Amino acid sequence: KNALANELRSPIICVLGHVDTGKTKILDHIRKSNVQTGEAGGITQQIGATFVPIQTVKDRTECLNQKGKLELNVPGLLIIDTPGHESFSNLRSRGSSLCDLSILVIDLMHGLEPQTIESIKLLKKGKTPFVVALNKIDRLYGWVAHDNLNFTATMKKQTENVKIEFKDRCNQILGQLAEQGLNACLYHENKDIRKTVSVVPTSAHTGEGIPDLMMLVVQLTQRMMAERLAFVDILQCTVLEVKVLLGLGTTIDVILSQGKLREGDQIVVSGLDGPITSQLQHDPTYAVILAFDVKVDKDAQDMCKEMGVTLFTADIIYHLFDNFTAHLAAIKA
């Protein structure tokens, strides 16, 4: 095998779980942003994709990887956030169907909730491997925070009462998972990652356990799906959703899961009155916005550049837009 043959693409990770379990907050912690507080009512309304470069993963997992035991071979992680509200089950199912691995977030204080169970069903149906983030450990009574420390280290520093309460709650949730037909255990006790779901206790507020979560995700993808992640230069894109963005008009969010898009490439989308074509203006990153609007202005272009996404423009007429969503859905089906 030569070096090129070993090149891996970034795994696509989808974050699923009941509303308010901390999905967006965990992502914020990983990318050091603050999306959650900026959301209207703190509610994720749509799928959002974030690329986490491997250097960030290395930095954040340093406390676990001091001897460089684990080689990190993927270029990064492409993480997709999903809304937990009942009414968004179509977005959740789309997100989970396109990902390589999923993080199922469960609130340690609440246990399994309706959309947790729905998510488990989606994951089983798609045979998607996943890990559980048992979030909000900082809410255990008497918890003393040690920011960004790995789980076993921070747990050692807690009082006996905290340890007991954690164990009780954790065991209860492991029991609930067993009722859903899932074998699960704490990740550092997991002897067979193919048969048993790993559970990582986390706090998206203090960052405790987040290094463990990131490390586990990388380990799992590298160990279990090297073949699936092998980079091949055959283009594969999935439409996540169609939406109207201020200043951009109707846009299509697509995830580039395989291959490379290059400046100058021609993009064709099938429209009601024939093909809609567009040319790539610069090399894109992982997340791509396709804008089909004649009114794209300079500000919008700058905004996309800042966001690190590529903007495609297309000369098409406005009346197409009315039926655009339905039509794209039809293309996908």
Contacts with ligand GDP, residue ranges (CB under 6 A) = 17, 19-25, 36, 42, 44, 84, 135-136, 138-139, 203-205
Look up residue 9 and give its DSSP letter.
P
In the bound complex, what is the minimum distance in angstroms from residue 294's beta carbon to ligand GDP?
Answer: 35
- Looking at the Cβ atoms of 7 and 165, the one nearer to ligand GDP is 165
- Looking at the Cβ atoms of 85 and 327, the one nearer to Mg ion is 85
Residue whose CB is nearest to Mg ion in the complex, by number: 44
- Looking at the Cβ atoms of 24 and 310, the one nearer to ligand GDP is 24
Helix axes 23-31, 210-224, angle to 10 degrees: 90
CB 135 within 8 A of CB 205: no
- Looking at the Cβ atoms of 102 and 203, the one nearer to ligand GDP is 203
- CA atoms in the 13 A half-sphere facing the CB of 127: 1
- In terms of Cα–Cα distance, which of 269, 272, 267, 268 is closest to 319? 272
Provide Rg for the chain, Cα atoms: 21
Q: How far apart are alpha carbons 126 and 97 in whole angstroms? A: 6
Give the DSSP H or E segment for 239.
Answer: strand 236-245
> Where do the DSSP E strands lie in 86-231?
101-107, 130-135, 184-186, 197-202
Q: What is the maximal distance between C-alpha atoms in the chain?
A: 69
- Looking at the Cβ atoms of 119 and 203, the one nearer to ligand GDP is 203
Q: How far apart are alpha carbons 56 and 146 in whole angstroms? A: 20
Residues of 47-59 as b/e, b for ≥16 C-beta within 10 angstroms? bbbbbbeeebbee
In the bound complex, what is the minimum distance in angstroms from residue 112's beta carbon to ligand GDP?
Answer: 14
Angle at alpha carbon of residue 266, lines to 264 and 272, rounded to 5° = 150
92 binds, among Mg ion, ligand GDP, none (CB under 5 to 8 A by kind): none
Give the DSSP H or E segment for 54.
Answer: helix 54-60
205 binds, among ligand GDP, Mg ion, none (CB under 5 to 8 A by kind): ligand GDP
Residues that bind Mg ion (CB under 5 A): 23-24, 44
In the bound complex, what is the minimum distance in angstroms from residue 142's beta carbon to ligand GDP?
Answer: 14
- Looking at the Cβ atoms of 9 and 23, the one nearer to Mg ion is 23
- Looking at the Cβ atoms of 34 and 270, the one nearer to ligand GDP is 34
